A and B are shown apart, each in its own frame.
Chain A
Amino acid sequence: MSDLTLLPILLVVVPLVTAAFLLAVGRFVGGAGRVLALVATLANTAIAFVLAGETLGQDGRPIRTEIAGFPAAEGGIELFVDGISAVVLGLIALVSLGVLVASFDRRRQDSFYALYVLLMAGLSGMVVTNDLFNLYVFLEISGLATYALIASDGSGRSALASLKYLLVGTVGASLYLLGVGYAFVATGYLNMVQLEGAFAEIGHQEPLVQTAFALIAAGLVIKIALFPVHTWQPDAYTEAPDRVTALVAALVSTTAAYALVRISLGVFTPAFFEANSLIHTLLLALAGASVVAGSVLAVMQREVKRMLAYSSVAQFGLVVLGIYLLNGTALTGTVIHLLGHAIIKVGLFLGVAAFATAYGVRTVSEYDGLAERAPYASAAVAVLALALVGMPPTVGFVGKFYIAIGAFEAGAWALLAIIVASTVLTLGYVMRLLERMYFADPPDSSPVSPPAADLSTDGGDPTDESATDGDHTVDEPSNDGPSNDVSRTDTAAAGRISRPLLAVVIVAALATLALGVLGSTIEGALAATVEVLV
């Protein structure tokens, strides 16, 4: 086993061990928790970049690792990293790093950071594994960490949203497990590469194979939160602490969507969908409905977080659409859109966090004239919002463009129309927000509330300033439950945006621009991997 094949294991083991030891060390060394979490996140970022360097490009080769020397042919668990998984791994590490910097706060409990790295372990595991059952375990690990993080501000509302998510999410994961059981009955394998061959051998129209796919897809679609099984998602995103929302919205559905790409194209292969046109049509219809319904529901929301949550339903509709167009162009678009959407959403939700903590604003109507009060944050949010619409030269444009070209190549005119319409629909809710921020007069009646005495900003150490937001801090656990109530004048408004938070939002905005310009480079780097899958 050379050093390189060890790296995918480390991606899971490093955060897992950190999560376990962080709490123990934190008891003796104050503040060790967040430092250890930062070290683990940096380590994962470095590993992900090395793996990307090895697997991307024309001469990139997938890396396969057999755990503990058990050969995969005899039922051992195998890890597998190709170009697409390397990109998703890099995304997980970088977004975790960004959100961690934005929520670096000595007043947070160590348990928060333990859950944080546990989530990173679960998500990385889902991406590197080449074993269907192993994927289930990592799906549940990341699920557990997500549910706990969502309820981590201790409010009743977030506990209720989290429980709702837990019930629906566990049913989804259980359906996935049942699908794995059917696949195992049909073939006797759990390894994805072996399953691919075995399915082709026994025939894609075998009822056991069809059922296995239906159950696995149903489970993952619940986790991705496509319409109409998205109902857990808006509550969970809205009631969670702001920074947790940013992390969860950027990574959890994204990783589930990656698993769907892997299993649909790598295990069941496009031949399965050619043999089962009804399943194929149903999936495309589901994705199309998700795009339209998500966008329409987003336009109707008053609360900004809830609006962005519904927007994710629509954007993942596009992603799933890209998967089942079954051609290389659409798949490239899917991967780029997964990447772009995650960066856009982490930036937007952190922007929402910044505005909420600085000015106590949470609804669309409260965003009146924000650009005047917070020009830098507003500019970054505007760039991210336009990227969500798909404005060139942002990454949002590149992803949608490739998916649209893919639909054109596939001759799917109705779907092409939906993709184009989705841009207009997205513009509908994004412009409503930007128009308020830039062209509405700031309301006279709601001046910036003076900072509460114990939250005064002293302009000292920037990491101290991030402690002023009341977002899951030890001191004031119940002050933060976001409510649907329009009049939230009692929110402790800090009056200014913490610098690390602002920096991460601006970096996210610049990243969408940079990735947009580099669009064709990304396509070239992914080309070899995409060719294998489609």
Chain B
Amino acid sequence: MMELLTTHYNYVVFAVLLGIGLYMIIDDENLVKKVIGLNVFQTGIFLFFITISVRDGGLPAVGKGSESAYVNPLPHVLILTAIVVGVSLTALALALVVRIHEEYGSIREDVVVEVLEDE
């Protein structure tokens, strides 16, 4: 068990990040923190993809030493795309939070729901 933790700690961090992110999305009343939670959740998945591309003693695929082992570049490219998607989503989410704050004067979900019920 300990050996698994010390050699595969990336996977442990991946699972922990997913858990923290999901918990923040579900539990936190602060809408900005929900968005941060979403980012943490996605970062966990990015870490998973980067981890699976690693090979022991592997070098970056770009550059010299084509004879030696190299890490799989495909997951890197995929995650580069996924990061762009994540940034766009964060931008949109924050824009919506700004709009909600303008309308209801709060970024806390419970307060906003209260205002809505009073209307």
Contact = CB atoms under 8 A, between A and B. Distances in A.
Nearest to B18: A178
B88 A144 contact: yes
Contacts of B96: 147, 151, 159-160, 162-163, 166
A166 B89 contact: yes
B92 A144 contact: yes
Nearest to B52: A185
Output the residue of B82, B96, B97 with the most chain A CB within 10 A: B96
Contact of A159 (B75, B82, B100): B100
Output the residue of A136, A143, A156 with the most chain B CB within 10 A: A156
A156 B42 contact: no
B13 to A, nearest CB: 15
A159 B93 contact: no
Interface in A161-196: 162-163, 166-167, 170-171, 174, 177-178, 181, 184-185, 190
A149 to B, nearest CB: 11
A483 B119 contact: yes
B41 A171 contact: yes
Given A156-B104, A163-B100, A178-B48, A147 B92 contact: yes
B22 interface: yes
A303 to B, nearest CB: 15
A137 B85 contact: yes
Contacts of A163: 31, 93, 96-97, 100
A523 interface: no
Contacts of A147: 92, 96
A156 B103 contact: yes
Interface in A123-168: 133, 136-137, 140, 143-144, 147-148, 151, 154-157, 159-160, 162-163, 166-167
Contacts of B104: 156
Interface in A377-411: none
Contacts of A485: 119
B92 to A, nearest CB: 6
Given A159-B96, A160-B100, A163-B100, A171 B119 contact: no
Given A136-B82, A163-B31, A170 B52 contact: no
A172 B88 CA distance: 16
Given A133-B78, A177-B82, A170 B89 contact: yes
A177 B97 contact: no
Given A174-B41, A181-B49, A140 B89 contact: yes
A162 B112 CA distance: 14
Contacts of B116: 157, 160
Contacts of A207: none
Nearest to A150: B96
A155 B42 CA distance: 29
Contacts of B52: 181, 184-185
Output the residue of A159, A184, A483, A485 with the most chain B CB within 10 A: A159
Contacts of A133: 78, 81
B85 A140 contact: yes
A228 interface: no
B74 A75 contact: yes
B8 interface: no
Interface in B72-95: 74-75, 78, 81-82, 85, 88-89, 92-93
B45 interface: yes
Contacts of B74: 75, 190
A378 B78 CA distance: 50
A171 B25 contact: yes
Interface in B20-63: 22, 25, 31, 34-35, 38, 41-42, 45, 48-49, 52
Contacts of B89: 140, 143-144, 166, 170
A67 to B, nearest CB: 14
B3 to A, nearest CB: 21
B24 to A, nearest CB: 10
Contacts of A178: 45, 48
Nearest to A140: B85
A136 B81 CA distance: 10
B34 A155 contact: no
Nearest to B46: A177
Nearest to A148: B92
Given A163-B93, A167-B34, A174-B41, A184 B75 contact: yes
B99 A156 contact: yes
Contact of B45 (A151, A157, A159, A181): A181
Contacts of B93: 163, 166-167
A238 to B, nearest CB: 13
A184 B74 CA distance: 10
Nearest to A159: B99
Interface of B: 22, 25, 31, 34-35, 38, 41-42, 45, 48-49, 52, 74-75, 78, 81-82, 85, 88-89, 92-93, 96-97, 99-100, 102-104, 112, 116, 119
29 contacts: A133-B81, A136-B82, A144-B92, A147-B92, A148-B92, A155-B103, A156-B99, A156-B103, A156-B104, A156-B112, A157-B116, A159-B99, A160-B100, A162-B96, A163-B96, A166-B93, A167-B34, A167-B35, A170-B38, A171-B25, A171-B38, A174-B42, A174-B45, A178-B48, A181-B45, A181-B75, A184-B75, A190-B74, A485-B119
Question: What 9 A-B pairs have minimum CB-CB distances, sorted nearest first?
Answer: A156-B103, A159-B99, A163-B96, A140-B85, A159-B96, A159-B100, A178-B45, A185-B52, A133-B78
Interface of A: 75, 133, 136-137, 140, 143-144, 147-148, 151, 154-157, 159-160, 162-163, 166-167, 170-171, 174, 177-178, 181, 184-185, 190, 483, 485
Given A140-B85, A154-B99, 16 more contacts: A75-B74, A140-B88, A140-B89, A147-B92, A159-B96, A159-B103, A166-B89, A170-B38, A170-B89, A174-B41, A174-B45, A178-B45, A178-B48, A181-B45, A181-B75, A184-B52
